[in-house]
């Protein structure tokens, strides 16, 4: 993959310094939860929980979005739209925004039963080169540790690239809180990963019973005389709208233990498991996880 000579961060900065007014006029449309979307591809790569996807497709009950979450989503849309307006001002003159917020055609290169809407398609007016851009807004804390494209975002962008037959893509991240500005990562087309992902999505959608949930992560720390055992509750469960509504979470862990992350709950000495007294209830779960780990 040849490196793109296209600095969207610089174009964003130029536009930001030159803009004289802010106008946002984008209709927020409904999203069909019973359909498969390009944004569901991360469920096929281990980044998200397929059990959650299955519950959504089947229409199971979930928690409603809080007002704070709705505001966060709205602010994300505003940031995305502003990015496009700033690029229109700051892009090099040989580049243009060729299309934006366009739904995928049924004649695209991926199965027609997968829906999607890409953010931006750029075109070089001289070379006819095309670049798909996916805009993501992230928390400042996450932004600071973002050294490469998030794999979950990468496979989604590759889905749009495959659908349109475009070889170049850019993931453009904006710090939602503003202090860290923005950054970009170039993404290479990956036909095999996308088509395998589409097959897995179809497989999940056809299951009569839900796929396995994500599991607790068991951690083992070696000491001189014994090994310390701790568990981490998956972040996928912590943020899941179906938790305690339609799903009991990873390994059906009782609610009172969900803040268990990194706490030593047991020791292994000469291959014998010794549970902490307050965690005896978790022994069957720990034994199962240790057996799977071996």
Helices (H), 140-268: 140-144, 151-164, 191-206, 235-238
CA distance 42 to 147: 19
CA distance 240 to 54: 13
pLDDT for position 257: 92
88 Cβ contact list (under 8 Å, min separation 6): 15, 97
Token representation of residue 130: 């095309």
pLDDT tens readout for residues 191-220:
999 999 999 999 999 999 999 999 999 999
pLDDT for position 106: 84
pLDDT for position 19: 59
Q: What are the beta bridge partners of residue 229?
A: 220, 266
Token representation of residue 62: 């979930």
* Pairing mode of beta strands 217-222, 227-232: antiparallel
In the chain, domain spans: 8-206, 217-293
Is the domain 8-206 a CATH 3.40.220.10 member? no
Token representation of residue 257: 């233990």
pLDDT for position 224: 79
pLDDT for position 31: 74
Q: Which of 23, 18, 24, 20 is nearest to 89 (CA)?
A: 18
Q: What are the beta bridge partners of residue 231?
A: 218
Low-confidence ranges of the chain (pLDDT < 70): 16, 19-30
pLDDT for position 176: 86
Q: Yes or no: say if 5 and 95 are a contact pair by the CB < 8 Å rule.
A: no
CA distance 59 to 116: 20
pLDDT for position 294: 72
- pTM (2 d.p.): 0.86
200 Cβ contact list (under 8 Å, min separation 6): 43, 44
Q: Yes or no: say if 52 and 236 are a contact pair by the CB < 8 Å rule.
A: yes
């Amino acid at each position: 993959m040849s490196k793109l000579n296209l600095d969207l961060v610089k174009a964003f900065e130029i536009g930001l310094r030159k803009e004289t007014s802010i106008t946002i006029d984008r209709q927020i449309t409904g999203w069909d939860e019973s359909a498969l979307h390009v944004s569901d591809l991360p469920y096929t790569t281990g980044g998200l929980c397929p059990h959650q996807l299955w519950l959504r497709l089947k229409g199971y009950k979930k928690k409603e979005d809080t007002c704070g979450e709705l505001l966060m989503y709205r602010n994300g849309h505003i940031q995305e739209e502003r990015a496009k307006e700033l690029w229109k001002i700051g892009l090099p003159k040989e580049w243009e925004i060729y299309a934006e917020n366009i739904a995928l055609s049924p004649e695209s290169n991926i199965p027609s039963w997968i829906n999607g809407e890409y953010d931006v398609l750029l075109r070089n007016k001289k070379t006819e080169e095309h670049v798909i851009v996916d805009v993501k807004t992230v928390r400042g804390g996450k932004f600071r540790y973002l050294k490469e494209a998030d794999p979950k975002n990468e496979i989604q962008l590759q889905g749009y690239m495959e659908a349109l037959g475009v070889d170049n893509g850019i993931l453009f991240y904006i710090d939602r809180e503003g202090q860290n500005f923005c950054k970009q990562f170039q993404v290479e087309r990956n036909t095999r990963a996308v088509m395998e992902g589409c097959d897995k999505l179809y497989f999940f959608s056809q299951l009569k019973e839900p796929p396995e949930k994500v599991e607790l992560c068991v951690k083992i720390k070696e000491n001189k005389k014994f090994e310390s055992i701790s568990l981490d509750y998956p972040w996928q469960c912590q943020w899941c709208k179906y938790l305690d509504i339609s799903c009991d979470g990873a390994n059906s862990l009782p609610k009172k233990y969900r803040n268990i992350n990194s706490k030593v709950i047991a020791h292994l000495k000469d291959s014998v498991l010794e549970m902490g007294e307050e965690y005896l209830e978790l022994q069957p779960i720990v034994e199962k996880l240790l057996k799977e780990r071996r």
